[in-house]
């Protein structure tokens, strides 16, 4: 069925955009709106709507006109958009709004490209942003009231004897708060700029309206109370502030390409209907943060004179997701280095995407170079400056010449891009265990252990007594050596509290029923769901994710690092005797390699192209599986120690 033409008047491709005048009406009246052409410099007052488009398979029709006296034309909107219009409509008069799905002709790509670029200024120009979460459900009223209560206590400033006369705000159950933050709005990538760039934000959920300032206050409160384990990124990031001390210190100036990569990584769990939006939605946000850091510098420059043109990326919906992600990867690699490959995930959803190009629309396992929450707090700033590959204005010469790209013809006759690099092959996977799935309560520790033939990898070692003037790091390393290499591998060798790792490891074995002693049997009995009191009913175990409770905050952080590193990964043993962790789709025969100029190891798979143009390339063509971890060995050590391994050229497709 052919849709009727878009009813809005044509926009000039400058600073013009449309607004929606939502006509007043009663609850059951049909939704009618008028489209109004406007310009960014106009004094017209409007609000901008932030919402989830929702399922487009069951659209609802509204009536639209672009002229005061013209007739109305039907326009299809999603059910969620229709609910938002119903909720925001006034009874006694019109309400001026900006709503992306209505104000932009989504079928006209040039207009779409142009309007996406204006969105930051549109939100900045709005009197406020209305964030519509949906209608009330799952006790959302109680949850919203509580969030407001944290920020604005209802009994603040009243005499103690009069407080009993005020209605009490009920403290919600965790399920109510979890259900509220599980709403899709909180995970949309577009809401990040919609909230960050707004002058003010009001959050609407059913009949409740709460200021975004209250959500910010809840974030601060929760940081100390640790009530909600992990709040959505849009809430966490809303407390972003740049201290003048940071802004005036050259140590904390961050190159634009690195800032973009950081934001891509931070928003990886955020959702978008179109994979291209995972980039396009954050570009204005990165630019905004860039201006906050460099208010007094040339806006075309990033840190240290690095020109933003190094990653000159523009909104262009005529490109396919594969083309967008490939261009993005090339720009980032050429600007930052091969460390970008650490973000590759194995379950890509983008057809024909090269294996070396990260798919930002797919969720990723935690990186091995990641940190526990405690460490992340300690190294919030310094983490930007690890693995420095920069001189003052560009990549170091020895880094920049370590790779190059070329075009090739695929077996299907299409064109694609391949990455040429130098690598040292550390070994081939000879044995591999099942994938660890924490959320399915499956952590096959015993099976992983059974793959090991070298008994030393299951035993700790005590080194020589340290001198009195030994550094903290030397003490930490000495303590870590008390743990077996196998156990250290589970943590990614990031150990602060040895005793916490030992206790965590034993709790996992207890949970699996692998420890046969009275103490572990008692612990296993405590790892059950106590919701059922009947003796005849077999009580299920608690979730595996809960077994580190009551260990204390610091010990919990250290223990959870095991989950952080192992979830979604498989334990392996190489033909050269190394042990480590690999991505979930790794298999026997895959190679572990160290790429020149990077500090981590990768797992790759040799491929045989049916139409090999150059037989000399046979055996060198690889498909990148993802980042790997080898206990006691890093890529930097492989290259720096000049081992007996011989570097060779590889082609990654």
Q: Cα dihedral angle (369, 375, 378, 379), rounded to 10 degrees?
A: 0
Query: pLDDT band at residue 283, thresholds of 50, 70 and 90?
Result: very high
CA distance 76 to 78: 7
Mean pLDDT of 259-268: 93
Supply the pLDDT for residue 610.
46
Query: Of how many residues is the chain composed?
Result: 653
pLDDT of residue 368: 61
Which token pair is 41? 């410099």
Look at residue 388 and tell me whether its pLDDT is greater than 90. Answer: no
Residue 355's pLDDT is what?
96
pLDDT of residue 618: 62
H helices of 93-232, in order, are 100-103, 109-125, 140-151, 174-181, 191-196, 212-225
Q: Which range among 202-216, 348-362, 426-440, 461-475 shows the weakest confidence by mean pLDDT?
A: 461-475
Q: Could you tell me the two tokens for 495?
A: 């150990």
**Residue 261: both structure tokens together:** 């990569």
C-beta separation of 505 from 482 below 8 A: no
pLDDT digits (tens, 9 = 90+) for 591-636: 999 998 888 899 999 987 644 555 566 678 999 999 999 998 888 8
Distance of alpha carbon 594 from alpha carbon 425, whole angstroms: 6
All residues at 6 or more sequence positions from 9 whose CB lies less than 8 Å from its CB, including other chains: 18, 35, 37, 66
Residue 325 half-sphere exposure toward CB, CA atoms < 13 A: 30
Could you tell me how many helices (H) and strands (E) the chain has, helices first? 22, 17
pLDDT attached to residue 253: 66
- At 9 the pLDDT is 87
The pLDDT > 90 percentage for the chain reads 51
- The SS3 of residue 297 is coil
302-306, 360-364, 644-648: which is most confident? 360-364
Is 319 a residue whose pLDDT tops 90?
A: yes
Residue owning tokens 């403290």: 171
Distance CA 497, CA 491 (A): 11
Domain limits of the chain? 16-126, 133-159+168-239, 244-396, 402-436+569-653, 444-567
Q: Does the structure show a pLDDT above 90 at 449? A: yes
Distances (CA, A) of 115 to 15, 100, 104, 323, 502: 9, 9, 7, 21, 56
More confident call, 277 vs 542: 277
For residue 650, give both structure tokens: 């590889």
Which structure tokens are listed for 51? 């919402």
Q: What is the pTM of this model?
A: 0.84
Q: What is the pLDDT of residues 126-162, one digit of tens each?
A: 999 999 999 999 999 999 999 999 888 876 444 545 4
Residue-level pLDDT at 379? 33
| DSSP at 436 | B
Q: What is the pLDDT of residue 23?
A: 94
Q: What percent of the chain has pLDDT over 70?
A: 77
- Among 295-304, 306-315, 335-344, 463-472, the range with the most confident prediction by mean pLDDT is 335-344
Higher pLDDT, 449 or 106: 449
Provide CB contacts within 8 A for 637, sequence distance 6+: none
Model confidence pLDDT, tens digit, residues 27-51? 889 999 999 999 998 889 999 999 9
């Amino acid at each position: 069925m052919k849709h009727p033409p878009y009813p809005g008047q044509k926009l000039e491709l400058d600073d013009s955009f449309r607004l929606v005048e939502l006509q007043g009406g009663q609850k059951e009246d049909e939704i009618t709106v008028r489209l109004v052409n406007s310009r960014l410099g106009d004094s017209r007052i409007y609000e901008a709507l932030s919402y989830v488009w929702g399922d487009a398979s069951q659209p609802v029709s509204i009536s639209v006109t672009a002229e005061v006296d013209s007739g109305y034309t039907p326009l299809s909107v999603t059910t969620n958009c229709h609910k938002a219009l119903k909720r925001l409509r006034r009874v006694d008069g019109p309400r001026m709004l900006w709503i992306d799905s209505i104000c932009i002709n989504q079928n006209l790509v040039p207009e779409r490209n142009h309007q996406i670029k204006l969105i930051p200024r549109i939100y900045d120009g709005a009197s406020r942003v209305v964030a519509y979460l949906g209608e009330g459900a799952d006790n959302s009223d109680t949850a919203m009231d509580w969030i407001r209560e944290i920020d604005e206590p209802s009994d603040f400033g009243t005499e103690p004897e009069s407080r009993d006369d005020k209605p009490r705000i009920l403290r919600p159950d965790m399920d109510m708060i979890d259900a509220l933050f599980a709403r899709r709005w909180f995970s949309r990538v577009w809401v990040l700029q919609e909230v960050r760039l707004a002058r003010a934000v009001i959050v609407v959920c059913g009949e409740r309206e709460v200021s975004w300032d209250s959500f910010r206050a809840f974030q601060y409160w929760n940081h100390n109370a640790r009530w909600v384990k992990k709040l959505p990124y849009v809430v966490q990031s809303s407390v972003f502030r740049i201290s003048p001390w940071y802004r005036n210190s050259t140590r904390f100036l961050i190159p634009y390409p690195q800032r973009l990569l950081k934001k891509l990584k931070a928003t990886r769990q955020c959702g978008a209907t179109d994979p291209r939006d995972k980039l396009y939605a954050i570009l204005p946000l990165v630019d905004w943060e860039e201006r906050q850091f460099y208010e007094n510098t040339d806006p075309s420059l990033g840190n240290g004179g690095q020109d933003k043109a190094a990653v000159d990326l523009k909104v262009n919906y005529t490109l396919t997701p594969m083309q967008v992600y490939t261009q993005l990867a090339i720009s980032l690699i050429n600007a930052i280095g091969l460390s970008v490959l650490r973000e590759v995930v194995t379950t890509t959803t983008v057809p024909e995407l090269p294996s070396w190009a990260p798919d930002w629309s797919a969720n990723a396992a935690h990186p091995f170079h990641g940190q526990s929450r405690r460490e992340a707090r300690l190294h919030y700033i310094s983490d930007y400056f690890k693995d420095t590959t920069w001189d003052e204005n560009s990549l170091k010469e020895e880094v920049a010449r370590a790779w190059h790209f070329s075009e090739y013809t695929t077996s299907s006759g299409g064109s694609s891009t391949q990455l040429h690099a130098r690598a040292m092959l550390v070994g081939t996977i000879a044995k591999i265990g099942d994938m660890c799935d924490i959320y399915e309560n499956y952590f096959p520790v015993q099976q992983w252990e059974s793959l090991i033939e070298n008994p030393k990898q299951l035993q700790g070692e005590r080194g020589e007594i340290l001198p009195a003037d030994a550094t903290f790091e030397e003490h930490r390393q000495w303590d870590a050596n008390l743990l077996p290499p196998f156990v250290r591998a589970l943590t990614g060798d990031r150990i602060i509290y040895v005793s916490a790792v030992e206790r965590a490891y034993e709790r996992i074995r207890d949970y699996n029923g692998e420890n046969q002693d009275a103490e572990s049997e008692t612990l296993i009995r405590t790892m059950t769901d106590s919701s059922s009191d009947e003796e005849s009913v077999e009580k299920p175990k608690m979730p595996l994710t809960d077994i580190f409770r009551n260990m204390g905050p610091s010990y919990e952080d250290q223990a959870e690092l095991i989950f952080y590193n192992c979830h979604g990964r498989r334990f392996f043993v190489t033909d050269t005797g190394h042990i480590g962790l690999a991505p979930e789709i790794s298999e026997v025969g895959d190679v572990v390699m160290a790429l020149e100029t990077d500090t981590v190891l990768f797992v790759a798979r040799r491929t045989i192209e049916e139409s090999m143009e150059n037989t000399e390339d046979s055996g060198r063509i690889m498909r990148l599986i993802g980042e790997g971890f080898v206990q006691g060995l890093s890529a930097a050590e492989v290259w720096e120690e000049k081992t007996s391994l011989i570097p060779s050229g590889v082609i990654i497709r």
